[in-house]
Copies of this chain bind each other. A is one copy, B any other.
Amino acid sequence: MFRQNLSSTLLQNVVDELSSLPGVGKKSALRFALYLLKQPRENVERFGNAVVKMRNEIHYCKICNMVSDSDLCTVCSSGLRDHSLVCVVESVRDVLSIENTGQYNGVYHVLGGIISPMDGVGPGDLSIEHLISRVSQGEVKEIFMALSTTMEGETTAFFLYKKLSPFKVNISTIARGVGFGDDLEYTDEVTLGRSIKNRQPFVPLNT
């Protein structure tokens, strides 16, 4: 138990707020708060204001639900991207991860979660209808599902597959296989089994 008199309610409030962040306990929160106390006032004001401003002024892209500074995100408004290829992901973070690879030139659709009956998340809680209506407009040629390889991810992928099959659209999924740098010995049997079945032509890395 780490509940103590912090000698200042101002400090106590900040510790309480900071320890609400995911993975941050009271000790780390206290460390952050004392760090902030030592910073110049204008820095701390910039810190606090940036957080509030972000929450109040952020937009979500009308097309793909990605966080954005305006009604259209940079990807959806770009003429250089392939708008007929839509990558379906669970969250904003996945978009950032994929963008970070520099390997993808299509656009996105952020579901805003994943089907998880255990957590009470059903299809109606996700932006699936929105995706269907995007596809029904006829310009999307391929739906590329980049969902986690968990039970929930597979369930969501299957649900989307069923919903999208009436439309003339190719449905692909992110390649399953042994991760780069992974030891074969420690790869689980399902992954290894699938990687053997779905073996691919060898392409050297540098070409």
Contacts and interface: CB of A to CB of B under 8 A. Distances in A.
Say how many copies of this protein the assembly contains. Answer: 2
A172 interface: no
A4 interface: yes
Contact of A14 (B31, B33, B51): B51
Interface string A26-46: 001011111111010101111
Contacts of A21: 32, 35-36
A59 to B, nearest CB: 8
A9 B69 contact: yes
B39 A55 contact: yes
* Chain A interface residue bracket vs B: 35 or more
A118 interface: no
Interface in A99-121: 99-100
Interface in A1-25: 2, 4-11, 13-14, 16-17, 20-24
B44 A11 contact: no
A91 to B, nearest CB: 7
Contacts of A45: 52, 55-56
B10 A93 contact: no
A58 B8 contact: yes
Contact of A6 (B4, B17, B37, B96): B96
